[in-house]
Amino acid sequence: MRDSVAAAAAAVTELVDDRASDWDRAGRLPEDVVRKLGAAGQLAPQMPAEYGGPGWSSADSGEFTAHVGSLCGSLRSVMTSQGMAAWTVERLGDPEQAADLLPRLASGDTAAVAFSEPGAGSDLSAIEATVTVEGDTLSLSGRKKWVTAADYADFFLVVARMGEEGAVVVVPRSAPGVRVRRVADPLGCRAAGHADILLDEVRLPLGSLLGGGLQPLSLLVTTALAYGRISVAWGCVGILRACVAAAVEHAGTRHQFGRPLGRHQLVARHLADLWTAEQIATRACEYASRCWDENAADLVTAVVLAKYVSAEHAAKGAAAAVQVLASAGAQDGHVVARAYRDAKLMEIIEGSTEMCQLMLADHALSLR
């Protein structure tokens, strides 16, 4: 398995090359890049082999995600979206739905998971999108906000209310009543295809309900978010690795006052803290992936911890990298400038820093 991960990492390095900054400034990933990785199954590398996916472990998928994240945060974000969609179908769909949708996601089709709404961010219990059943069809209405990769998606998995319960609805982008509006000039991951989705009485076959619907809303949310959080966490490891590489290269080659910049104690402190941050985030992610692969009892806590630790360290580490590079890294298009913006976004998405802190505090209190 390690050989296939290394081969995939080498291929994506060649595919991205030095174009990530151009993609970031343009706010768009090339369609052929997204489709090529999708067709190789590398946008959702944990998808089971029986459906055409690579079937990698969480550990192998995580290392690959970190590598992609070190090259291009926007591309990694699309990976997270695709992986969340595949995981949601795998966990919640019936066998027929899995047999239909998962091979599509392993062969080039793309998908996005729509949770957030104007009035439902961290409090996803406030979701107002509704689905009603009328005979053998359903009607879906609502507005979803800031859906990652929605601008590239062939279909959406929309979380909505269904009476007193919840449901995930598979919505083709081409369905009448669906409108996609790209988010203009996002702070970070500018090319990740963030968009709002407007759903105006979208009528679909009853079979569009994953697993028949009528599941607890909390189950629907936590199922997809678990995958999203660990993917984001590994992506933050990638951000830190890119920042370490850039900061060490600059500090080791630029001279000030007669010696390399990195030999000045205050700059050396930044380098030490940055490398330490990458090591801490990596270990937290490795533990979370081990829990995932072993289906350990503390999986949920381990994933939240990894997301919290990695995102916080990525934001601080990217700021330190910009400080080390100074004006060289303070230019739009530079890898550490991009990391600085992308990392801040990682502290918000898939469970904000504050929400992670509350969940970890609840866990700590439960140990009494």
The whole-number pLDDT of residue 338 equals: 96
Does residue 1 have a pLDDT over 60?
no
Reduce the secondary structure of 147-210 to three states and give it as a string: ECCCCCCCEEEEEEEECCEEEEEEEECCCCCEEEEECCCCCCCCCCCCEEEEEEEEEEEHHHEH
Does residue 300 have a pLDDT over 60?
yes
Does residue 43 have a pLDDT over 80?
yes
Model pTM? 0.94
**Structure letter (DSSP) for residue 117:** B
Gap between the Cα atoms of 304 and 277, Å rounded: 17
The whole-number pLDDT of residue 202 equals: 96
The whole-number pLDDT of residue 126 equals: 86
DSSP E strand stretches across the chain: 111-114, 130-134, 137-147, 155-162, 165-172, 178-182, 195-205, 255-256, 259-260
Q: With cut-offs at 50, 70 and 90, classify the pLDDT of residue 76.
A: very high
Average pLDDT, the chain: 93
Reduce the secondary structure of 67-82 to three states and give it as a string: HHHHHCHHHHHHHHHH
Gap between the Cα atoms of 80 and 148, Å rounded: 9
How do residues 257-299 score in pLDDT, each as one tens digit? 878 777 888 889 999 999 999 999 999 999 999 999 999 999 9
Residues of the chain above pLDDT 70, percent = 100
- Residue 339, both tokens: 């990391």
Task: Give the residue among 147, 149, 44, 157 at the shortest CA–CA distance from 97.
Answer: 157
How do residues 50-69 score in pLDDT, each as one tens digit? 999 999 999 999 999 999 99
Gap between the Cα atoms of 105 and 97, Å rounded: 12
Any bridge partners for residue 139, and if so which?
A: 132, 203
How do residues 98-139 score in pLDDT, each as one tens digit? 999 999 999 999 999 999 999 887 777 789 999 999 889 999
Task: Give the residue among 172, 193, 246 at the shortest CA–CA distance from 76.
Answer: 193
The whole-number pLDDT of residue 4 equals: 87
**Position of tokens 């979208």?**
202
How do residues 154-181 score in pLDDT, each as one tens digit? 999 999 999 888 999 999 999 999 999 9
More confident residue, 308 or 122: 308
The whole-number pLDDT of residue 331 equals: 87
**121 dihedral zone (left: phi>0; alpha: psi -120 to 50; beta):** alpha
Residues of the chain above pLDDT 90, percent = 83
> Cβ atoms within 10 A of the Cβ of 141, count?
16
Q: How far apart, in Å, are the Cα atoms of 37 and each of 33, 242, 284?
A: 6, 21, 27
